[in-house]
């Protein structure tokens, strides 16, 4: 027999479902309508330059997409971008979290300053890096190269993907630091002190106490960052426009090219479906990894 609770609802009854129904329905429609339209347009021959000529075309868009070298190039670029940014942010965030956990003068101000890049809009940060830091003539890095007697680097021509990785990593490193530094607050200092009394040095403490303690937080950082890094767009649009050639064209930017530069809505929608499938595969893998870490 169901027992009433203070709010008047019954555990296991229909009333909770009725209360949750509108929200669940709204979220379902919010997701399913755009997804259904994307799948539908991916099966159409629909080019904005040829109005009135749209027709059902089956899997033609997918056949063309999977035989297009630009797709595979963009997927490799996406994986390289995501992988390198994750390495930089996770390793750098872990080391910085250990550093900022120590007591030193001005630590509070330093924490605020090091986290602030995460709150800068991607377009603004890309413009700062393009015109202030990486400009081959007037940039800060060009000036530093001149100070040390080296030739300035034209970053976006010579090292385009590296430039994008640096910009995106600069934005996401504070996020990783914030999560990992928060996790560091729960580290048992008595355990660390006991290890030091037993003769463990800083490196041993880091690898055998600090790093295992941060394992769950690192998993969360990887999961959240990877989902967002699959859709990096503004940094590429502002700095390299996907070039030179296809050197910095990731999957998100390729979809933009097909939709808003080539006006091929059908082909762009097919690319969108591929991106959704890829993102879901990654999400399933990451959710399982995080769940496994939480169970440990």
For 151-209, the pLDDT digits (tens) are 989 999 999 999 999 999 999 999 999 999 999 888 888 888 888 888 888 888 888 88
pLDDT at 123 over 60: yes
Pair of tokens at residue 167: 């910009």
DSSP letter for 2, please.
P
How many angstroms separate the Cα of 112 from the Cα of each of 68, 96, 109, 180, 234?
A: 46, 13, 5, 15, 25
Dihedral over Cα of 238, 242, 247, 253: its sign: positive
What pLDDT is stored for residue 296 in this prediction? 62
User: What would the mean pLDDT of 30-55 be, rounded to a whole number?
Assistant: 87
What pLDDT is stored for residue 70 in this prediction? 93
User: What would the mean pLDDT of 243-256 be, rounded to a whole number?
Assistant: 93
How many Å apart are CA 40 and CA 58, to the nearest integer?
10
Pair of tokens at residue 264: 């091929």
Please give the CATH number for the structural domain made up of 68-295.
Answer: 1.10.3720.10
The residues, ordered by sequence, that sit 6+ positions from 165 with a Cβ below 8 Å of its Cβ are: 81, 84, 85, 88
In terms of DSSP bridges, do strands 44-45 and 55-56 run parallel, antiparallel, or are they unpaired?
antiparallel
**E strands present in 180-253:** none
How many Å apart are CA 94 and CA 61, to the nearest integer?
44
Pair of tokens at residue 267: 């082909």
Contact yes or no for 116/171 (Cβ under 8 A): no
Contact yes or no for 80/164 (Cβ under 8 A): no
Pair of tokens at residue 262: 């080539």
pLDDT at 3 over 70: no
How many angstroms separate the Cα of 107 from the Cα of each of 91, 101, 114, 173, 182?
A: 21, 9, 10, 18, 15
pLDDT at 14 over 60: no
pLDDT at 6 over 50: no
């Amino acid at each position: 027999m169901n027992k009433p609770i203070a709010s008047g609802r019954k555990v296991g009854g229909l009333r909770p479902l009725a209360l949750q129904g509108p929200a669940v329905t709204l979220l379902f429609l919010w997701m399913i309508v755009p997804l259904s339209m994307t799948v539908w347009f991916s099966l159409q021959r629909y080019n904005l330059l040829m109005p009135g000529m749209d027709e059902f075309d089956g899997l033609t868009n997918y056949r063309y997409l999977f035989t297009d070298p630009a797709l595979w190039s963009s997927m490799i670029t996406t994986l390289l971008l995501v992988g390198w940014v994750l390495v930089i942010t996770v390793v750098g965030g872990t080391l910085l979290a250990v550093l900022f956990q120590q007591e030193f003068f001005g630590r509070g101000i330093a924490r605020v300053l090091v986290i602030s890049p995460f709150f800068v809009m991607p377009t603004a940060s890309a413009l700062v890096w393009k015109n202030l830091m990486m400009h081959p003539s007037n940039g800060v890095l060009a000036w530093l190269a001149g100070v040390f007697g080296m030739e300035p680097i034209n970053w976006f021509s010579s090292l385009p993907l590296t430039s994008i990785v640096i910009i995106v990593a600069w934005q996401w490193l504070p996020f990783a630091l914030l999560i990992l530094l928060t996790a560091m607050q729960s580290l048992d200092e008595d355990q660390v002190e006991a290890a030091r009394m037993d003769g463990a040095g800083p490196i041993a403490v880091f690898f055998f106490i600090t790093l295992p303690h941060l394992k769950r937080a690192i998993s969360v950082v990887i999961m959240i960052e990877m989902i967002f890094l699959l859709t990096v767009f503004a940094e590429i649009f502002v700095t390299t426009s996907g070039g030179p050639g296809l050197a910095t064209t990731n999957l998100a930017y390729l979809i933009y090219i097909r939709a808003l530069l080539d006006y091929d809505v059908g082909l762009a929608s097919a690319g969108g479906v591929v991106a959704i499938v890829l993102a879901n595969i990654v999400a399933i893998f990451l959710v399982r990894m995080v769940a496994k870490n939480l169970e440990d």
